[in-house]
Amino acid sequence: GNSVTQMEGPVTLSEEAFLTINCTYTATGYPSLFWYVQYPGEGLQLLLKATKADDKGSNKGFEATYRKETTSFHLEKGSVQVSDSAVYFCALKVGSQGNLIFGKGTKLSVKP
């Protein structure tokens, strides 16, 4: 079946530190991969996505590369800010009509 595994949090970093949140997946077919972010008290928002192998998604200084050989889509940011504190969800979708399958979420706290 299709599934997403992401590193457990919480992750606590100081401002300007480097961030990596690991995400690996299992899928039948060729999934599209997503990172969603949930700020406190809000719904989920799409952060970035990649639809095929070797694609790199990027937004707001965050990046993730679709690695088919390692079935991974790790999220990275070179210098985090306090405003990046949120819960981050890795997700996949198989097929244009497929539903999103989410990982369990990773809570990030950035301290000034």
Partner 1 sequence: DTAVSQTPKYLVTQMGNDKSIKCEQNLGHDTMYWYKQDSKKFLKIMFSYNNKELIINETVPNRFSPKSPDKAHLNLHINSLELGDSAVYFCASRGANEQFFGPGTRLTVL
Residues engaged in binding partner 1 (CB under 8 A)? 34, 38, 41-46, 49, 87, 89, 96, 99-100, 102, 104-105, 107
Q: Which residue, 26 or 79, is less far from partner 1 as judged by CB? A: 26
Residue (29 or 43) nearer to partner 1, CB: 43
Minimum CB distance to partner 1, residue 10 (Å): 10
CB of 7 to partner 1, least distance (A): 14
Partners of residue 95 on adjacent β-strands:
none
Look at the block and give the residue holding tokens 């937004």. Answer: 59
Looking at the Cβ atoms of 56 and 104, the one nearer to partner 1 is: 104
Long-range contacts of 4-8 (CB under 8 A, 24+ apart): 4/90, 4/91, 4/92, 4/101, 4/102, 4/103, 5/103, 6/88, 6/89, 6/90, 6/103, 6/104, 6/105, 6/106, 7/106, 8/104, 8/106
CB of 36 to partner 1, least distance (A): 8
Between 80 and 88, CB nearer to partner 1: 88
CB of 9 to partner 1, least distance (A): 9
Beta strands 86-94 and 101-102, pairing class: antiparallel
